[in-house]
Amino acid sequence: MTTYIHRYLARIIMEAETPLAVGSGERDVLTNQLVATDCNGLPYIPGTALAGVLRHALESDLNKEILQQLMGFQGEKKEEGNDDGQGSRLILSHAQMVGNEGTPVDGLVDINWDGFYAPFQTLPVRQHVRISHKGAGEDKGKFDEQVVYNGTRFCFEMELVSNGNSNDADAWKKMLELFQSPLFRIGGGTRKGFGELTVVECKTDALDLMQPEKLQKYLDKTSNLNDTFWNQYSDCKKSNNNSSGWITYKLDLEPEDFFLFGSGLESADAKMIPVTEKVVSWKNPLRPTFTKEQILIPATSVKGALAHRVAFYYNKTEGIFADKLTEELLEKKGYDMSVEVKPDQNRLFEIATKGNPAVRALFGYSAKGEEGTRGKIIFSDLLKGDADTTPKKILNHVAIDRFTGGAMDSALFNEEVVYGKGTSYTLSIQVDKKDLKDEYIKAFELALDDLKTGMLPLGGGTMRGHGRFTGTVTKNGKEL
């Protein structure tokens, strides 16, 4: 029988670098997907979410046997009714939100919903629309989801029950490194800009319970995230995780003039307005505040545009053209012929885009059963500039009757657009190159080239001249 006489302990505070979407699985009359909230009505990250991300990430660093002994496994049923499964030796708390005193909101407390906590009563809602191969929104493809503000901090504790062997020590070190990795993401939408977290505080200790003073220290510790137990420790050493096996692209882009990433809402002055969000600022760690509304460039918009352009370039490479589409050719080139197609859609066109091998390998796909896979590209949202002081303009439009050449009745509308010329926007994209064919990466880089030369506009109103960006793209620090 193994005697577990060691305890590895850690207390970690993480900050959301991009909005967070840890879903509750519920919806309301206004939103398709709500984030998880605790008993106080504040957002939190369930311990199960942390454990799931950790286990998945450790699969590439630890062999199966060590991982099962560390985090448990489901055994097979035996005749006598028992199984040979094992529980996890890793204990994770929920990650509770850090409040306006710089301390975690742990347990049921009396929240003063004025001041700092007020915005958390109405969290931001992101609007999404599924785009067809024609570049327009698909029927019934509109949906939205609630997210947690960029800059929100969360605190959690982690404990590993151990017998002091070297495997546990190595695994503990790897876990702490994973949380500090620039690739660490959690929640939904991690491939469309959500869930990027960075460690702002990490305190850890290893206790040998055979030593009386260490045992007493462990017994005196409580489960409260604000326990003074952690005051005696300094921060953990920073990890040197260099994200090997990944390609880092950085896009430094400047708008040629106007752009519009729509919020799906309207104002008193315009039917279409740009999307903006607040950010939690921690300039004073004991008195966090919210910034004013900032202009948002959603990663989903960049991802969707690039995915369609990747399909174009890969089809061109493979000799797939609209006037020469046949089932035999698509099947021969390795396109997925099982793509679901609605009755009113062109099946071959849908296969050439949604069944495109490069798009599926780079951006992932959903499927019935267990066949789906997530993408190999990580995007990040970009929030920049005070929305009140950023130059904007109201543009008026009217739909023209193609027969008479005159204005159509009730067809006048206007939009508020952002004037971004002279402002640089930096987008970061991470690509996992493992198992990716060179031609897939080539198609992606050609799409990035179109983006930096203004040939691939972003956002809404691109057919009205909006959304053209120009600039440079670097790959692992070298300009493409």
For tokens 């009757």, the residue is 401
Own/partner contacts of 25-30, CB < 8 Å, gap of 24 or more, are 30/125
Residues 6+ apart with CB under 8 A from 22: 35, 36, 43, 44, 45, 46, 49, 148, 186, 187, 188, 195
Q: Are 423 and 295 in contact (CB under 8 A)?
A: no
Q: Tell me which long-range contacts 453-457 makes (C-beta under 8 A, separation of at least 24).
A: 454/256, 456/305, 456/306, 456/309, 457/305
What is the Cα 22 distance to its own chain's centre? 10
Residue among 21, 435, 389 at smallest CA distance from 194: 21
Query: In angstroms, rounded to a whole number, what is the distance separating the alpha carbons of residues 185 and 364?
Result: 16
| Nearest-angstrom CA–CA distance, 432 and 425 | 23
Q: Mapping DSSP to helix (H, G, I), strand (E, B) and coil, where does residue 168 land?
A: helix
The per-residue pLDDT for 121 is 92
- Smallest Cα–Cα separation from 188: which of 35, 42, 15? 35
How many residues in the chain?
Answer: 480
Edge to edge, the sheet with strand 276-277 lists 276-277, 294-297, 382-386
The number of C-alpha atoms within 13 Å of 262 and in the hemisphere containing its C-beta is 16
Residue 141's pLDDT is 66
Give the tens place of pLDDT for each residue, 439-476. 999 999 999 999 999 999 999 889 889 999 999 999 99
Helix (H) or strand (E) holding 356: none
- Judged by DSSP in three states, 67 sits in helix
Question: What is the SS3 assignment for 420?
Answer: coil
User: Residue 385 CB: number of other CB atoms within 10 A?
Assistant: 18
Q: What is the pLDDT of residue 33?
A: 85
| Residue 257, H or E segment | none
- Backbone phi, psi, residue 448, to 5°: -65, -35
DSSP letter, residue 109:
-
Q: Minimal CA–CA distance to 190: which of 85, 355, 335, 49?
A: 49
Max CA distance (Å), the chain? 93
In the chain, the amino acid numbered 348 is: L
Collect the ranges in the chain with pLDDT lower than 70.
Answer: 1-2, 76-83, 130-141, 237-243, 344, 367-370
C-alpha span between 341 and 353 (Å, rounded): 12
d(CA 246, CA 222): 40
Q: Which residues of 84-107 are buried (b: 16+ CB within 10 A; e: fewer)?
A: eeeebbbebbbbbbbbeeeebbbe
pLDDT at 3: 79
